[in-house]
Each structure stands twice: as C-alpha cells, then as structure tokens.
Structure 1
C-alpha cells in the first residue's frame, strides 16, 4: 500500500465496503459521541468521516488529535447506519473505522484562524496566515476555478490558431499609465531595468517578426494604489495580438473566448450574446462611466433646456457658464420622499451640496382644492365620487421652482409616471459624471432594477486620444498614445480634441474586463501624434527606440487586447474583492504580511548595487 494514501477523501463509497484503505489529510473537526470519536478528515478533493472507539488499538492516540493536524489513518470501510447518511458529500454513505494512525504534522499552539465554519476574520489575519485561509472550502473552490478558467482560456486561444509565447520579465521602463517597478542593475551601476506593466511593446514586435497570432497568460507589474478590483502590485492577463486586422476582427476573435468562459463557469447565469458597441462619449452621458453595468436599464439624459432661464436659480445660473449642462437620472418606482431624501444624502456624502429631485404621485386633495378654489373637504368628496379625476402631480423642491410646464416636459422626455422619480446633477460633465454613475448604480440596486442573474457585456469604443488641461491649456494624451487615430494622418491635421482612436474596452457588470487597440504602426503618424502632445521625434526615439526602429522595416497593421484574468475570476466567483481570487495577495498598503515584503536590503546588497537609501522625513 502507498505510504500515505490508497484513496483520496472523495473516492470512497458503498462499493468499497469491507476494504482496508489508507487516507491522509487534515482533521477538519473532532466530535466525541459518548466515547466514540468521529473525525471529518479533509483533503483537497473532499471529506470522509472516520471514527474510532475504545476497542481500536489506536484509540488513545486518536484522542490526542486536534483540528488541522495532518494525519494518516488506516482502516476498514463500513456502511453508515440508516438515517445517518449524509447526501451532501460523495462519501456520505460510508465511514472508515480507524485501526492505525500516524501524525504527519501537528499544530503547535492555538490556530490563528479556524478552517471549519464560516467565521469572518480581519484581513490582516487572513493574509498573514494565508496558507490556513486557503484551506477553507470557499478559497479552495476559488483557486480551482481560477485554474480551470486559465486552462479554458488557453484551449480556446489554441483552437483559434494562436501560438503562446513568453515575453521578457526584466525589460526597459515603458509608460503604460502607471508607475514602474524598477530593478537596479548590478553590472551597470546607476541604471535600472523595469518589470513590465504589460507585454505591450514585445507583442507588437512579435507582429513585426511575422508571427501573426500571439497570446500568453502574462504577469504584469504596476505600482498602483489598491482598489477592490485591482491589485497594487501584480496581476495576470490574457494578452493577445493579431496582424492584418481591423477593430471588428479583434472583437470577433475575443468575444467567443470570453463568452465561452462565462458560459462554462458562470453557474447558469444568462450570458449576453449580442455585445453592444457604445461610444466613450455616449457611455459617459448615459451611464457616467466607461465601464457601465448594463444589467441596470437606467440611462441618464441631458435636460438642460428645461432649467435654462427657469426659477431654479442654481441650475439657471450654472447653465450660463460655458461647457455646463444638467443631466437627469430616471428612477422608475423611486417616487417616494423617503427614497429621494436618501439619495440626496448620498450626494452630500460624495461632497456635493445635494442632488435635486422630482417625484410623481397621485394628485392629492390639497392640490385639487388649490386648483379649483374649493375646500380640501370638497376636493376629497369630488375625488372619491369620481367627479374629478385625480391624475398626477409632481412633488419636490425642484418642481415648485421650475413650474408645472417644465416639470411635465421633463417627465415626458424621461418617460416617467406615477410612482417614479428623477434626480438631477449639473456642472461641467467631467466633474459630476463619476458621482452620477455611482448614483445610477445605487438607484438600480435599491429599486431592484438591476438584473442580478446575468453577465451583460458592451464594447466601449471611439476613445478620444487627446485632452486639454483646463488650467494650462496644454494638449496631452487622454488615452493610449499608441492607438491608431481614426482617419490616420489626416485626422491629426485638425482640432486634436476631435481625434478619436481605434481603442476599445470591454465592460461587464460594471467592470473593465478587456482593453485594447488597433496600433499606430506608421512611424510618421506616430511622430505626428506625439508632436501634438509636445513630444519631439528625438524624445520618442529615445523612449521607444526598439519599437520605432522596428516599424521602419515593414511593420504590418496589427491590433489586439488584454483581458484581466483576476477580474474575470472575481466575477465568476461572485466575489466583491479581487484578493479573494488571488493565491497570495498584498494588503491595502501593498505589503505581503506573510513573507514580510517589502523589506529593507542589507548593507552588502546596497553596496553591490551602488545604491544608498535616503531616509524620508
């Protein structure tokens, strides 16, 4: 028999009754039932109930074991008594009577966290003792899911004729929108390598090299501030690039890969088959975000005309300023003062003075009395008898300020009725769009409008390449500087703020899953694009010399994208934090509490590298 096990803890069933077996694993929990000891023995594959009574030759040894000890047992498979079968586990019809035991690994002292049960522990505890945290069933399932997703992605790419290549990990610094992690060179004192933020330049060079279809499961390194959906140090992406393609070709290639993975691992949730293409401009207007959650049907609209010159002085005066507008967030079924006040409080927490609102309700007797010049009692009688139709009225401070005609025009534009509401934000769009987007998400959630059992995808396209700094008036890149401008060189002759790039993101349920572009492979167009942003040809050649030089030698048109594996798994696992699907993540301060990183280098290491650490005040 094998030294440690003849079966895993998920293998045994009634067909094994009477067999002598050997199992190894961890003590999940121990139960003492009147002198009979029951142990749930757990390994990576499952759970088997083993038991021992005083007749067993190793009863005294079994009495000593505690939770999370690693043990090996020898025993005989028995059928469980009728009524004691556990249908929730594959081994629930049997149990193993222990005849021999070997302790493979003891637990010294108290466990810092329990593996059995669903107790909540502080993040610091979970990350410091991640090896224990990972023993828990949910974490085991998440990491197996991650492995299976990566395997599925690989197979789907191979099936489409892509070849997997590995690009360098130690390379030159390259701006990808975040800070680099720098690596000092011992052989070249004073010079530094960088960990790649993405394999961007290398995969483009592969296209110049004639490989046509490339992919890899690529580690990427970015020194970023942490968020719930972003690691502060490193992450993995499905990186791909193709030659002789246009934007739609990339979409048609990656869509079945992503959709297939969500269908395979999405737990039966609906996966959208038609992926809408929404311009960046429209996404900002309708959803307040370039990664909208389309499970929420709410679309914001511009309603400036209804407030211009109105009695609501705040919006009326604001609209006199250039570049300002007022937008409405429709809220079907949100027509109660309590809900409206709650959303107004949300806006105040976000740093705004508030959020204006109107809600529509059945006309009250007070309103009828005022309209008809009769008493409230008479109005109540007329409403009750049907002599007067109640109809609808608009309520809220905004409705009183702008009057019934403007209020009705807003209602009709938004398609709202009795029991509905609308919220309003104004100013320069970029200042309030993020808050409007978050408000839209909260409204959809609280009113039950967001369709939970669905993965909703959309391509966000037509990203602007440039933006103007309002203080300095300087033109700079707003998005990827290596994207091919729509219209090529001709597009760069006009107003830079009108130039759109062949750049795209894929949004799913409020997260950015994929980002990519058709690349600017023409040196003369690239130099012009950088010149507009204030970068001369000499600087471009210095910073991106490898790629620029390669483009001089017959570069093909090419494009591609990268899909964030961590976020994909996070969505599939229905987790809210990306750390739940990463084996050994950093904490919010970009620290590895388990391995004590970052750590101080020794004096010898610094001397060898020719470095000196300057203390920070």
Structure 2
C-alpha cells in the first residue's frame, strides 16, 4: 500500500511518483488549494491538492484530523520561500494525484499536538491515540534502537540470549510478588519473577558462561515516577569474570550506546564507595552534576547546649551535617519554612539554618535562630569547614544517620535545582563497596539480595561479624539515577547457608524455597557475577522523559491500573471455583474479619 514512509521522502525523490499511507496530522483548505500534513511513524510530509482534479479535491476538502488515508502523487521541490527547516521533509512536498480514505476518525477524545495538556488518565485510556503523537512515537522507536544495539553488543561479545521462566516460585527479592493460582495444583501458586536471578545463576552452573536476556519482571510495590508493576531488565550474567571485568564490559556497552545513539561521550566512569557517597551526598546514587555536599560537623557541636545538635552528635547512630548553599542567604523565611516541610517528608524534625550576611562583620554578620547556643569559635569552625562566604546559607541536619542522609540528601537535590547549580549534562559513576547487610526493625536485611557474595572472607568470618562486612557489589549511576546494579554471586553452599542464617531464614525455609539452588551449589558451581539494567530508566534518561511511563507502550497508572483495558478486573466465579480460590469481599478485610 505504500512505496515510502512519509518521513523518508527527500530531495533525491523529486520527480518521482510515490504512494504514502498514514494519518492526517492537519488539513488546511486555503480556498483554491488544500494542504495536507500526512504523518506516519517516520515523520510528516506536506501534500498539496488543487482543483484540477475536482473529485480528488472534494475528498481532500472533507478530511479531518486522524483520518487514515492513502496518497499518491508527484514529489516536487518547494520554492525557496516555502522551505520549512524545522521539518525533515521541509524541502519537498507531494502534489497529490489520488486520495483514498482508508478509515474515518470520530471526533478525538484528546488533543494530538505536541503541546497537548491531556490528563495522564486520558492519555493512558486512549493510549493508541497518544502513541501517534510524534514525541511518543519517537521515544518508542528510540527504545527499539537501544534494545537492538544492546543485543548487537552482547551478541558480538559472546553472550547468549536465553529465556527463563515467567511462572516460577516466590523469592525474597524485597518486594511483594504477583501470585498466579495453579489450576492443576489447587491451593498452590506460582509467582511472577521479580528478576531471573536464580535461573541465571543456574545457567552459570550449567556452563552457559555468558548469558543475557531483555526480560519482563514484576513487583507488586508502591509506585513512583521510575517504578511500574511490570518493567524490563537488561539481564546479564557471566562465569569466570571478576566484578572489575563485569563493570568494564557493561560500562563499555553503556558508553557505546550513548556514543552511537546520542553522540555523547560519557568518558571513564569514576568509582566511589558506598560510605563516601552517603557521607558526601546522603545517597547511594548521587547526582554528581550537583556540586553541593554534606559536611559533617558533629565533632564541632558535640559540647554545645543546643540539644538538637548535642544529642545526635554524641550518639553512635546519630549524625550532624551542614549543607552550604552559595548565595542562599537571599532565601526568605517562607522559603526556609518550605524547606523545613520538605525535609519533614523524610522524617526530619526540623531544619536549623545560619545565614552569612557579612563574613567580615564577625558574629554581627551572622543571622541564625540557633546562634545563641553557639559561641564565636564554633561558628568560625562551621564556616571554615563548610567554606561558607558572604551571601551563603548553611542548613543543618541533626538526627539518626539514616534520617539525616535521606532528608539532607533530598534537600541537596532540591536546592541544586532551585538555585540552578547543576553542572554538565551527563555524570556517570560506579558506586561500590556496599555493606552486605543493613539493620531494619532490629534485624539484618540484604542490601542487594541474599545471593550476593561478601568480599574476601569465610562463612565463619561473615557470621562472626555480619553487620560490618562489605559485599562484592556495584551499582551504575547516571545523573542521580541507578541504571543498574549487580554483584559477584555466592558460589559456595556453605556461604549461601550462612547468609540465609544471618537473614533469619531457617534451614527448613531455605530448603523449602531454595533447596534446588543449594543442591546445585554442590556440583562444581563456577564463580559467577552479573548485573541487571533497568531498560525503562535508561530510555527515560536518554530521551529526556519525565517518567518511565512515557517510554513504555502500555504502562499502568500510579495505582497499578490500566485505564485502556480496565485491568485489573473481577474473575469469573467459575474460574475461581476451578482454581480453588475464594475472594474475600473488601468490606470484610477488617481486623475482625
């Protein structure tokens, strides 16, 4: 039905007859001439109809937006005065000779221009229309180019594309599983995979020493702009490669992606330890475009009479930090109150501050509600350590270390944007040396997952002091977004059993959930390591989208619903009976019920 895509016609085709199909982007009847902008996935082209062919002209005059049509005509160069440099096809146009309406379009339920202000609910309900918009079309085409480039790179480097099961067993990956009832085993359930972690490890045990898969994963968790209940991973696993080699190879892949598709040279990725990232930036995925840093001042204020500072400064689990914002003294009290509310979201109880109105004026040039608790020497030490100058403001975080990190780390990012401080367009890095475990509600949890290996110790040493051990793990971070994370895996059955015990997984539970894995570890398992990238996040960053929903064909809402298909929905009672599943009515899901 077509000889060319609309966006592919150019000056080389002048004088040729072409057949095009697509949708009416815009139609303009200027009296004696009809101008039609025809659109397909590759772009727009202008088609001109004049009254010389009355029947065709009449059809052209009847067109409305989003009619699906076929056009046949002659490619000709536009006059110099009519060249549109903003269009890929702006140097040519098609003189229409024939026009067929393939399908008419009813009045549209949403705006289709690039400046659309449709609600997200409407965009998702009519996603098939939203995806016709060039901005959305371009993102999905770009996504396809990325996945093709990833496959080429991994294929060329000896990796094998191997599929793993979608119906599997629940695993402790840190989020809730989506469960699938089994008809043949009534009362039992499959789980949709949160990742192919166990299966890719089993593939290493099977001798497929370089595996990859672009795979769907599922997590029933609370959603954010960069989270969806189903998402796509670039999943990679290797045998006989160290963490350093895995990082080198995957860094090479990402650098090639950016260079080939965006003409961007990311350069060598710096390395930063987890402890350094948390200390300086309050985040294990710091945005290095932001020059602001957290500075510890607990040793300076440990003896002050201000309990808000003194308490955390003398608490082993506490922290007192200062964040200097250049020229931030111009912040009004209302602005500071807004910042105080902002850090409150992350658990902070307040936000102390100090304005340096005139450094040369000594204490007279300092303004702060906590100044009465601080003598001149302490103020000088704080100013010296933060390198504050006239016109700056210092914001303080004082609480448990985790609260300070989260609240002040978030405030650092907000202040960086508010004061337009971001430097450069792309700042990648590797974050390494993660702790093996973190304490939550009095018990230890795996920072990555329970199959991550500790660095350079025996199972006995790990169990003797688990809280202070470092894992052989690594995260790739770009502009404050975690692109992917990975680790060296445990390939020794004794070490895996020790990790399970530390996590409070009994031998019985470990055998019930992972018996097959523990047994496999006894049969010559090679050392192996891997990494998984979030494909949706990569595309979001590369295209400048604000949410991964804008780079997925059919995403869910923030409440994990699909307005297009009205999913989820109620199951047929007969299906539930066959599955042996009973549904508890919503009003009965109370503590009494």
TM-score by length of 2: 0.93
The offset of 1:102, in angstroms, is: 1.2
- In 2, Cα distance between equivalents of 1:79 and 1:511: 46
In structure 2, runs of 5+ residues without a counterpart are 588-593
- 1:348 aligns to 2:348 (yes or no): no
CA, structure 1 residues 400+610, in 2 after alignment: closer, same or farther (shift >3 Å)? same
- 1:227 aligns to 2:196 (yes or no): no
Q: In structure 2, which of residues 318, 321, 344 is the aligned counterpart of residue 324 of structure 1?
A: 318
Aligned residue number for residue 378 of structure 1 = none
The range that moved more, 496-505 or 249-258, is 496-505
Secondary structure of 2:215's counterpart equals strand
1:414-450 deviation line (CA, Å, top 9, x unaligned): 2222232221110111123211111111122222321
Answer yes or no: is the 8 Å Cα contact 1:51–1:98 preserved in 2.
yes
Answer yes or no: is the 8 Å Cα contact 2:194–2:218 preserved in 1.
yes
- 1:361 aligns to 2:351 (yes or no): no
The offset of 1:284, in angstroms, is: 1.8
Q: In structure 2, which of residues 256, 280, 284 is the aligned counterpart of residue 286 of structure 1?
A: 280
Aligned residue number for residue 484 of structure 1 = 453
- In 1, Cα distance between equivalents of 2:157 and 2:327: 47
Q: CA RMSD in A?
A: 2.1
Aligned residue number for residue 51 of structure 1 = 48
The range that moved more, 565-574 or 598-607, is 598-607
- 1:275 aligns to 2:270 (yes or no): yes
Answer yes or no: is the 8 Å Cα contact 2:463–2:498 preserved in 1.
no
- 1:596 aligns to 2:566 (yes or no): yes
Secondary structure of 1:463's counterpart equals coil
Which protein has the larger Cα radius of gyration, Structure 1 or Structure 2?
A: 1
The offset of 1:501, in angstroms, is: 1.6
- 1:612 aligns to 2:546 (yes or no): no
The range that moved more, 308-317 or 31-40, is 308-317
Aligned residue number for residue 523 of structure 1 = 493
Q: In structure 1, which of residues 136, 147, 150 is the aligned counterpart of residue 133 of structure 2?
A: 136
Aligned residue number for residue 423 of structure 1 = 395
Q: In structure 2, which of residues 376, 383, 394 is the aligned counterpart of residue 404 of structure 1?
A: 376
- In 2, Cα distance between equivalents of 1:128 and 1:271: 38
Answer yes or no: is the 8 Å Cα contact 2:41–2:134 preserved in 1.
no
Q: In structure 2, which of residues 545, 552, 555 is the aligned counterpart of residue 585 of structure 1?
A: 555
Answer yes or no: is the 8 Å Cα contact 1:181–1:194 preserved in 2.
yes
Secondary structure of 1:54's counterpart equals coil
Answer yes or no: is the 8 Å Cα contact 2:320–2:404 preserved in 1.
no
Q: In structure 2, which of residues 529, 539, 549 is the aligned counterpart of residue 559 of structure 1?
A: 529
- In 2, Cα distance between equivalents of 1:295 and 1:12: 41
Secondary structure of 2:244's counterpart equals helix
Aligned residue number for residue 388 of structure 1 = none
Aligned residue number for residue 250 of structure 1 = 246
The offset of 1:553, in angstroms, is: 0.5
Aligned residue number for residue 20 of structure 1 = 17
Q: In structure 2, which of residues 67, 70, 73 is the aligned counterpart of residue 72 of structure 1?
A: 70
Q: How many residues align structurally?
A: 582
- 1:8 aligns to 2:2 (yes or no): no
- In 2, Cα distance between equivalents of 1:529 and 1:176: 14
The offset of 1:538, in angstroms, is: 2.4
In structure 1, runs of 5+ residues without a counterpart are 372-392
Aligned residue number for residue 115 of structure 2 = 118
- In 2, Cα distance between equivalents of 1:204 and 1:317: 47
Secondary structure of 2:38's counterpart equals strand
- In 2, Cα distance between equivalents of 1:254 and 1:571: 17
The range that moved more, 558-567 or 323-332, is 323-332
The range that moved more, 50-59 or 31-40, is 50-59
- 1:106 aligns to 2:104 (yes or no): yes
The offset of 1:353, in angstroms, is: 4.4
Answer yes or no: is the 8 Å Cα contact 1:296–1:450 preserved in 2.
yes
CA, structure 1 residues 508+90, in 2 after alignment: closer, same or farther (shift >3 Å)? closer
- In 1, Cα distance between equivalents of 2:8 and 2:505: 65
- In 1, Cα distance between equivalents of 2:316 and 2:209: 48
- In 2, Cα distance between equivalents of 1:192 and 1:436: 43
- In 2, Cα distance between equivalents of 1:91 and 1:454: 30
The offset of 1:507, in angstroms, is: 1.6
The offset of 1:227, in angstroms, is: 0.5
The offset of 1:221, in angstroms, is: 1.2
- In 1, Cα distance between equivalents of 2:440 and 2:86: 61
- In 2, Cα distance between equivalents of 1:169 and 1:113: 36
Q: In structure 2, which of residues 174, 194, 201 is the aligned counterpart of residue 177 of structure 1?
A: 174
- In 1, Cα distance between equivalents of 2:447 and 2:486: 15
The offset of 1:400, in angstroms, is: 4.2
1:248-296 deviation line (CA, Å, top 9, x unaligned): 121112111112212233454x524232232x22222211111111111
The offset of 1:522, in angstroms, is: 0.8
1:342-378 deviation line (CA, Å, top 9, x unaligned): 24422224424431122323358xx58x98xxxxxxx
Aligned residue number for residue 88 of structure 1 = 86
- In 1, Cα distance between equivalents of 2:177 and 2:256: 34
Answer yes or no: is the 8 Å Cα contact 2:198–2:517 preserved in 1.
yes
- In 2, Cα distance between equivalents of 1:485 and 1:76: 68
The offset of 1:170, in angstroms, is: 1.5
CA, structure 1 residues 399+130, in 2 after alignment: closer, same or farther (shift >3 Å)? same
1:113-146 deviation line (CA, Å, top 9, x unaligned): 1323422110000000011101111101111111
1:282-314 deviation line (CA, Å, top 9, x unaligned): 222211111111111222121012212224343
Aligned residue number for residue 591 of structure 2 = none
- In 2, Cα distance between equivalents of 1:189 and 1:447: 59
Answer yes or no: is the 8 Å Cα contact 1:299–1:329 preserved in 2.
yes
CA, structure 1 residues 545+76, in 2 after alignment: closer, same or farther (shift >3 Å)? same
TM-score by length of 1: 0.90
The offset of 1:87, in angstroms, is: 2.5
- In 2, Cα distance between equivalents of 1:462 and 1:10: 49
- In 2, Cα distance between equivalents of 1:243 and 1:16: 52
Secondary structure of 2:567's counterpart equals coil
1:557-607 deviation line (CA, Å, top 9, x unaligned): 111110111000100011121101011100111111112211111122222
